[in-house]
Structure 1
């Protein structure tokens, strides 16, 4: 039986992906800071990715599950922060950069010593360009995408059997954007979760969800930086 760990599964995309994997026959272990929604799964554990011992807790969850073939990382925070509140900016870095690095690195080292596996993670289309309303969030998502790409290059160089899938959704209707601000082209979390599971099964390297965001991000990349810096987002 295939075994998957989903970190960041207390709600939103992470929870729906975990449910779909379970429906497909995966043996699923889940983790999050809040565990009230996790008892429906085979194994669960309270893990805060910003905790310096979070990687050890991940290894405990893997042992409880009996192994791991897929690590899926959905843990993230993000806010518009036009006033550049320092707490918001730093909390975003701690979760989306430091916590992300800690957990993805732990999964990589596990697969390194167990013959390989699959690492999938949600970055975002927000990492395509620096977004003025959400500086730390867009920067952290660019970091995540670059980190995954670098690890895939490292894995290939060393002929390791570790696959990677970088999931880049547009705005998704979850609590993450339930902040009173308006967002364009908001995606349904259930459809996004189905797309993610399909992308994992097809072993895609990068998946931008959905087609409208694929078009928009291509256009964003064509905009010269001297123009982008002046856009009133």
Structure 2
């Protein structure tokens, strides 16, 4: 049984990654700050909880992780939508700490074990790392830095059989992430997703992570951008019905036979 460490595992994409990997037979260590939620998910998946703020991670926090075949750096987040002229330096500091320094600390601590197992590192960045947008200066900067860290590490590990991948999700329906960003304003969160026909779910991203992890040891997926069909680029989001065909119903009565529902 291979061992995975997933950060940010108490909600959103991190939780979905932990659940998906566990369902595929991985031994999963779930890392996050919220102990009660983390213990619940660990209990449901058969994983092990490590209550930890990744920005303060130390070697002694990971003593129970004897081996590591996969590290998924998913801890992070966005705070606020203020323009650069009015942005809070404290918010920017917190975003850099969680998205960049948390990834740095966890990678440094687990890299010897990943080298020993010829394992895989998957960093969850964002399409925000590819282009700036109004009100996104801090988050875009933090995710760009995390992307740069990933690129540099991959080059620095030349000649060492460890796979290093960046997954860049676009619009994902993760209300808790958005609530944190909008400082608890549920109406703004609702408006963000309004009329978007099938944004990504956390499970969609987790399936991509699991697919990358399951590739043969010699196959490195450098980076993969994952967006919903409704979002063609960071600045090109379609709101309205896309006219999806619904899956055919299970019953085969004459009224439904062969019809798309």
Using structure 1 for the length normalisation, give the TM-score. Answer: 0.81
Alpha-carbon separation, structure 2, partners of 1:55 and 1:152: 23
Deviation of the 1:192 alpha carbon: 2.2
**Matching of residues 102-181 of structure 1 within 5 Å:** 102-112=105-115, 114-156=116-158, 159-174=159-174, 175-178=176-179, 179=182, 180-181=188-189
* Change over 3 Å in CA distance of 1:7–1:128 after alignment to 2: same
**Matching of residues 1-233 of structure 1 within 5 Å:** 1-39=1-39, 40=43, 41-51=46-56, 54-63=57-66, 67-82=67-82, 83-112=86-115, 114-156=116-158, 159-174=159-174, 175-178=176-179, 179=182, 180-181=188-189, 182-183=191-192, 186-202=199-215, 203-210=220-227, 212=229, 215-216=232-233
Q: Secondary structure at the match of 2:37?
A: coil
Alpha-carbon separation, structure 1, partners of 2:88 and 2:234: 27
Deviation of the 1:124 alpha carbon: 0.4
Alpha-carbon separation, structure 1, partners of 2:130 and 2:202: 21
Alpha-carbon separation, structure 2, partners of 1:212 and 1:204: 22
Q: How many residues align?
A: 211
- Looking at secondary structure, tell me which structure has more helix per residue: 1
Alpha-carbon separation, structure 2, partners of 1:10 and 1:131: 28
After the TM superposition, which parts of structure 1 deviate over 6 Å for at least 4 consecutive aligned residues? Answer: none
- Measured against aligned partners, the alpha-carbon deviations of 1:84-127 in whole angstroms (never above 9, x if no partner) come to 12221111112112222111222323323x25211011000001
Contact 2:70 2:213 in 1 (8 A): no
Using structure 2 for the length normalisation, give the TM-score. Answer: 0.73
Deviation of the 1:21 alpha carbon: 0.6
In the alignment, structure 2 segments of 5+ residues that lack a partner are 183-187, 237-261
Alpha-carbon separation, structure 2, partners of 1:125 and 1:132: 14
In the alignment, structure 1 segments of 5+ residues that lack a partner are 220-233
- Measured against aligned partners, the alpha-carbon deviations of 1:162-214 in whole angstroms (never above 9, x if no partner) come to 10111100121111113325436532222222222123323522111126488
The residue aligned with 2:239 is none
Larger of the two Rg values belongs to structure? 2
Contact 1:208 1:214 in 2 (8 A): no
Which stretch shifts more, 188-197 or 141-150?
188-197
* Change over 3 Å in CA distance of 1:57–1:170 after alignment to 2: farther
CA-atom RMSD in angstroms: 2.3
